[in-house]
Amino acid sequence: MIDFQHVTKKYTTNDKTITAVNDVNLVVQRGEIFGVIGFSGAGKSTLIRCVNLLERPTEGKILVNQKDLLTLSQKELRDVRRKIGMIFQHFNLLESKTVFHNVGFPLSLAGVPKQEIKRKVESLLEFVGLADKANHYPEQLSGGQKQRVGIARALATDPEILLCDEATSALDPQTTSSILDLLRKVREEYHITILMITHEMQVIKEICDKVAVMENGKVIEEGTIFDVFSNP
Ligand code: ADP
Ligand code: ADP
C-alpha cells in the first residue's frame, strides 16, 4: 500500500545540510496499523510528510498503491491526495467553523453537493460519537472530542490511508485509549491502512501490528511488535 524505497530527505538552511531521513526502506501493507516510533528529531514527521507530499524526498521513491508519487501528473496527484487523510497532534480544526462545517469542509472544497455533504457529515459524526455536537465550535470541545472531529474530517473524502502525526500526544492516557479504540474501529469499518508516528511506546504497543524504530533519520529496527519489543 505504501512502499518507501531508499527515501532520503535533506534540508539545507544557511549553507548547512541536515539529513532528516536517511535511506529508509519500509513496506506498509494494506489494512495494517503501522507505527513509527523514535525520539524528537528522529525524522518521523519528515517521513510522514513525504507521503502526502507536504515534503518531497531528495532521493528515493514512495509508491502508494504501486504508483510512484514523484512522477504523477497534477490530476493523478490530486486523486492520490484525496485518498490520504491526516490527523494531527493539535487537531488543526478551523476555529471559526462549527463541527459540522469542519467535517464537511474537504467535501465543500471538492464541490460535493450540499445534500450529500449533510448525509455524509451526519453519518461520520454518528460514527465518531459526536452527533450531538454538530453545532458546537472547536473551543467548546475537549481535546478528545476535537480529535474525534479531526478523524471524522479525515474520513470525509473516503481515504484509503490515514496518517496520524502524534495524534494522541496532547491527550491524557484515558482519552488516548478511547481515541485508539476509535482508530481500531476506523480500520475495521473503513478498511483503511493507518500509518502513525509517535514518541509514545504505549500507543505503539496498544494498537500497532508492525513498528519501525527511527533514530537519526534511519530505521534501526523493524518488525511485529513481538519481534521488536520482546528481548531474546
Ligand atoms: P521527528 O518528527 O522525529 O521529531 P523531524 O522529521 O521533525 O523529526 O525532524 C528531523 C530533523 O530534520 C530534525 O533535525 C529537524 O530539526 C530537521 N527538520 C525538520 N523539518 C525541517 C525543515 N523544514 N527545515 C530544516 N530542518 C528541518
Ligand atoms: P451557512 O452558515 O454557511 O449558511 P449553514 O450552517 O446554513 O451554512 O449550513 C449549510 C448546510 O449545512 C445546510 O444544507 C445545512 O442543512 C447543513 N447543516 C449545517 N449544520 C448542520 C447540522 N448541525 N446538522 C445537519 N445539517 C447541517
Per residue in 162-185, pLDDT tens? 999 999 999 999 999 999 999 999
At how many degrees (to 10) do helices 143-155 and 99-109 cross? 20
C-beta 114 within 6 A of ligand 2: yes
Contact residues of ligand 1, CB 6 A cut-off: 11, 13, 18, 20, 38, 40-46
Given a contact cutoff of 8 angstroms between Cβ atoms, the answer to whether 209 and 193 are in contact is no
Q: What is the 117 CA–ligand 2 centroid distance (Å)? A: 9
Mean pLDDT of the chain: 94
Which residue lies with its CA nearest to atom 18 of ligand 2? 118
**Is the predicted pLDDT of residue 104 greater than 70, yes or no?**
yes
Which residue lies with its CA nearest to atom 1 of ligand 2? 101
**Is the predicted pLDDT of residue 206 greater than 90, yes or no?**
yes
The model's pLDDT over 153-163, given as tens digits with 9 standing for 90+, comes to 999 999 999 99
Question: What ligand 2 atom has the least distance to the C-alpha of 99?
Answer: 23
* Alpha-carbon gap, residue 50 to 212, rounded angstroms: 16
**Is the predicted pLDDT of residue 107 greater than 70, yes or no?**
yes
The one-letter amino acid code at 63 reads L
Q: Quick one: DSSP state of residue 67?
A: E
**Is the predicted pLDDT of residue 231 greater than 70, yes or no?**
no
Contacts of 185 (CB under 8 A, 6+ apart): 127
What pLDDT shows up at residue 189? Answer: 94
Residue 131 to residues 74, 76, 138, 143, 192, Cα–Cα distance (Å): 36, 34, 14, 17, 22
Q: How confident is the model at residue 79 (pLDDT cuts 50, 70, 90)?
A: confident
What pLDDT shows up at residue 69? Answer: 87
What pLDDT shows up at residue 212? Answer: 97
The model's pLDDT over 111-143, given as tens digits with 9 standing for 90+, comes to 999 999 999 999 999 999 999 999 999 999 999
Q: What is the 118 CA–ligand 2 centroid distance (Å)? A: 7
pTM for this predicted structure: 0.91
C-beta 135 within 6 A of ligand 2: yes
C-beta 123 within 6 A of ligand 2: no
What pLDDT shows up at residue 190? Answer: 92
- H helices present in the chain, as ranges: 44-51, 74-82, 99-109, 114-128, 143-155, 173-190, 201-207, 225-229
- Our measurement of the distance from residue 186's CA atom to the centroid of its chain's CA atoms, rounded to an integer in Å, reads 12
Q: What is the 158 CA–ligand 2 centroid distance (Å)? A: 21
Q: Extract the C-alpha cell encoding 150.
A: 479531526
**Is the predicted pLDDT of residue 74 greater than 70, yes or no?**
yes
